[in-house]
Amino acid sequence: MSIETYYDRMSLPSIHRGAMIDKIPKDFAYKNFLKEYDCGSNVYFWGDYGTGKSGCCSILLKKCLAKGNLGYWASCTGYVSDVMNNVHFDENTSIFDRCREVPILVLDEFILRDVAKERETMIELVIRNRVENQLTTIISSNHNPSFLKSNHPGVYSVLRGHFNIVQVAGHNFRTQV
C-alpha cells in the first residue's frame, strides 16, 4: 500500500501531509517535543490561529504511522456532525466507533466558544473514553489551558494529568516552505 493510501485511510487532510519537523526553525521550543514524541502519550497543542498546531498533529500522526500505528484524523466539528448523522467509516464501523477505538486519534480544531453544550459533551466523552481505555489522543486548539479551566472545567479536568500540554507559536506550515 502506498503512503498516500495510508494517509487517505487515516483521513489526513492533504493540506497537512507535507508538514515535517525539519521545516520548523531550530529555536522553536516545541520542536524537541515533536522529535522525542513516543507515539503513546496524549498531546494538547494550543496556540493562536495559523501557528502550526495542525501541522504538529500531522507530524505526530505520520511519526506513529512510521512505527506501524494507524490513526485517524477528525476535525471536532466534523466528528460531531458525523456522529449526529450516523456516518460510517466503513460498512461495519461508524465514525463514532472509529474515533472511540482507533489506536491514535487526532481531534483538530477543538474550539468551544459559542458552541452548544451537546457538542462540547460529545467531544469530552470521546476524549474521556479514550483516556480510560489508554488510547492516544492528539488535540489542536486555540484555547489556552487557563481558558479551559475557567470556562470548561470538565474538559480541563480530562486534560490535566492525562495530556502533554504544548504551546505552539510561530510556524505556519501552509505559508512557509
Residue 112: per-residue pLDDT: 81
pLDDT in tens, 97-136: 999 999 999 999 998 876 678 888 999 999 999 999 999 9
pLDDT digits (tens, 9 = 90+) for 19-49: 999 988 888 889 999 999 999 999 999 999 9
Q: How many residues are listed for the chain in this entry?
A: 177
Q: 167: burial class by Cβ within 10 Å (0-12, 13-18, 19+)?
A: middle
Average pLDDT (52-75) is 96
Q: What is the pLDDT of residue 177?
A: 42
Q: What confidence score (pLDDT) does residue 132 get? A: 97
For the cut 50, the answer to whether the pLDDT of residue 52 exceeds it is yes
Average pLDDT over residues 77-99: 96
Domain ranges within the chain, ordered by starting residue:
77-135
Distance CA 138, CA 4 (A): 21
Q: What is the pLDDT of residues 7-16, one digit of tens each?
A: 999 999 999 9
pLDDT, one tens digit per residue, over 143-176 is 999 999 998 898 999 999 899 999 998 766 665 5
pTM of this structure = 0.93
Q: What is the pLDDT of residue 29?
A: 85
Q: Which three cell numbers stand for residue 114?
A: 459559542
Burial of 147 (0-12, 13-18, 19+ CB in 10 A): middle
Distance CA 176, CA 155 (A): 33
Q: Which residues pair with 163 in a beta bridge?
A: 42
